[in-house]
């Protein structure tokens, strides 16, 4: 996954703009100068500027050239590191989740979801691949796939893992029915009822419900909106509590959008190895990075086999395919046996379609477009929140994925905002869904994995105005 020349050039300017070396209103070098200085063609120079323009970092003024348009002050501030409350709330999150998550229809602007809208998915190309797969597959997919899953697909996942230094082999990978099933197997392979599980705070409600269904005790740990789980807090928990497993999202977490820097990933792996505690790594969003390169994963630093790396194409290609995977390290045999016993095998045909999509480079092609769309959207959301939400509203600034975390000024209830918004056909996910503690009442998660339209922009502005009126 090498970087193109135009990306490298854009990257340099982006950094200068973000660090305010180049400030709003500054003129950028002419295209001709870019060509000469970088020894590139005019089309490469243009592409670099288009990239910056699409991110709203620069703007072209007729007959004058390109200028820095980015105004950092219009973006909301970033929330502080979370401090998990000590008081467990009385209500069950299940009811809230059911109310918010499962009662929407297509008329709603679904800011509550955490998957890209169908307009962002390559439906027509997937369909072509489906027809190819039905021809290439023995018996058109009517027969059992092997327990471990489609070999072509596992080869592709192994191959892609090298790009982030994980160097997995085909036999290290087991295909699952989406990332959720991967995590379900991982939890069942590493814990028993009553065990303590360390997670981020706030944490995806799906993970909370899964852990609760398995009878695990959840230990929510302080987490930074940019860098993820707090290393010191994790260290302290491993030293003082009987943590039996950790479940973390390394890249572009749900709901914060945080991404652990490499040195944090390395340190987390060092800590869990020292304490011999398995780490279940949810890396379902890792492919949707906005930066130049695919971030690494904790699995990249795993020497002991204690990291169970989980991923899927649900957030990038086709949620309805139910194709995910796990590289479970020393727990691989256990996971294979569990899958054989509880499922026999996965669905043959959707694995083959996914394999074809990855093999032919169509996946990478699609990802490039998806990443650009989501990056632009994330900036649009940030700008609109900065402009239209109550003074003092904070928002995380994800560098990948499709969700961000908004913190309204204290005492503004996101549950009340939910009630007001749904009357306008807008659905949000209130902060209370993402913890078992009594907290995050003034927070919400927003999904920017939608097509940015005038309607969406107006709805987001409306949401901001509604937030002004609630207390």
x/- track of binding to a second copy for residues 249-288 (CB under 8 A): ----------------------------------------
Parallel/antiparallel/unpaired status of strands 324-327 and 173-176: antiparallel
With a CB cutoff of 8 Å and minimum separation 6, the contacts of 267 are: 231
Rounded Cα distance between 154 and 85, Å, is 41
CB of residue 444 to a second copy, shortest distance in Å: 22
CB of residue 318 to a second copy, shortest distance in Å: 4
Task: Judge whether 254 and 200 are in contact, CB under 8 Å.
Answer: no
Name residues contacting a second copy, limited to 399-418 (CB under 8 A): none
Parallel/antiparallel/unpaired status of strands 109-110 and 426-427: parallel
Toward a second copy, which CB reaches closer, 177 or 269? 177
Task: Judge whether 22 and 16 are in contact, CB under 8 Å.
Answer: yes
Toward a second copy, which CB reaches closer, 94 or 267? 94
Among the listed ranges 19-27, 156-164, 313-321, 388-396, the one in contact with a second copy (CB under 8 A) is 313-321
Check binding of 471 to a second copy (CB under 8 A): no
Rounded Cα distance between 323 and 126, Å, is 14
Check binding of 180 to a second copy (CB under 8 A): yes
CB of residue 353 to a second copy, shortest distance in Å: 9
x/- track of binding to a second copy for residues 95-134 (CB under 8 A): -------x------------x--x--x-x--xx--xx--x
Rounded Cα distance between 358 and 320, Å, is 17
Check binding of 318 to a second copy (CB under 8 A): yes
Vertex 188, ends 185 and 192: CA angle to 5°?
175
Give me the count of residues in the chain: 471
Pick the closest to residue 357 from 35, 130, 113 (CA basis): 130
Indicate the DSSP class of residue 245.
Answer: E
Toward a second copy, which CB reaches closer, 129 or 407? 129
Check binding of 92 to a second copy (CB under 8 A): no
CB of residue 204 to a second copy, shortest distance in Å: 12
Parallel/antiparallel/unpaired status of strands 217-224 and 228-229: antiparallel
User: What are φ and ψ of residue 393, in 5° steps?
Assistant: -70, 135
Rounded Cα distance between 360 and 379, Å, is 31
CB of residue 347 to a second copy, shortest distance in Å: 4
Check binding of 181 to a second copy (CB under 8 A): yes
CB of residue 53 to a second copy, shortest distance in Å: 30
Q: Which residues bind a second copy (CB under 8 A)?
A: 94, 102, 115, 118, 121, 123, 126-127, 130-131, 134, 138-145, 147, 177-178, 180-181, 184, 193, 206, 209-210, 213, 317-322, 337-338, 340-350
């Amino acid at each position: 996954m090498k970087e193109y020349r135009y990306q490298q050039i854009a990257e340099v300017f982006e950094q200068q703009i973000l660090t305010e070396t180049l400030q709003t209103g500054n003129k950028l070098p002419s295209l001709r100068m870019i060509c000469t200085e970088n020894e590139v063609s005019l089309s490469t120079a243009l592409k670099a500027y288009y990239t910056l323009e699409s991110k709203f970092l620069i703007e072209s003024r007729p007959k004058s050239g390109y200028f820095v348009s980015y105004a950092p002050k219009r973006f909301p501030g970033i929330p502080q590191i979370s401090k998990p409350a000590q008081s467990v709330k009385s209500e069950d999150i299940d009811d809230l989740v059911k109310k918010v998550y499962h009662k929407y229809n297509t008329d709603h602007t679904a800011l509550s979801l955490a998957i890209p809208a169908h307009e962002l998915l390559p439906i027509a190309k997937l369909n072509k691949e489906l027809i190819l797969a039905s021809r290439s597959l023995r018996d058109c997919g009517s027969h059992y796939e092997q327990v471990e899953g489609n070999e072509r697909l596992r080869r592709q996942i192994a191959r892609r893992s090298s790009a982030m230094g994980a160097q997995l082999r085909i036999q290290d990978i087991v295909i699952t029915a989406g990332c959720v099933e991967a995590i379900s197997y991982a939890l069942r392979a590493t814990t028993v009822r009553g065990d303590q599980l360390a997670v981020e705070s706030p944490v995806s409600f799906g993970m909370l419900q899964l852990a609760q269904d398995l009878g695990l005790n959840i230990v929510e740990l302080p987490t930074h909106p940019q860098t993820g789980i707090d290393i010191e807090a994790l260290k302290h928990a491993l030293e003082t509590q009987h943590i039996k497993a950790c479940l973390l999202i390394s890249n572009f977490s749900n709901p914060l959008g945080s991404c652990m820097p490499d040195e944090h990933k390395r340190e987390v792996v060092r800590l869990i190895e020292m304490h011999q505690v398995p780490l279940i790594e949810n890396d379902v969003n890792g492919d949707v990075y906005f930066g130049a390169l695919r971030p690494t994963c904790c699995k990249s630093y795993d020497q002991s086999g204690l990291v169970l790396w989980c991923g899927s194409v649900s957030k990038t290609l086709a949620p309805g395919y139910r194709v995910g995977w796990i590289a479970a390290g020393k727990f691989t045999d256990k996971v294979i046996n569990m899958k054989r016993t509880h499922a026999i095998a996965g669905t043959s045909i959707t694995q083959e379609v996914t394999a074809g999509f990855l093999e032919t480079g169509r996946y990478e092609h699609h990802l490039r477009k998806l990443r650009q769309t989501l990056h632009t959207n994330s900036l649009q959301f940030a700008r609109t929140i900065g402009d239209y939400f109550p003074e003092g509203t904070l928002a995380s600034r994800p560098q990948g994925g499709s969700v961000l975390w908004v913190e309204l000024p204290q005492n503004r209830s996101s549950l009340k905002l939910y009630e007001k918004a749904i009357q306008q056909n807008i659905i949000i996910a209130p902060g209370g869904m993402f913890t078992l503690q009594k907290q995050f009442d003034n927070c919400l998660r927003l999904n920017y994995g939608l097509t940015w339209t005038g309607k969406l922009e107006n709805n987001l502005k409306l949401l901001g105005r509604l937030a002004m009126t609630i207390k």
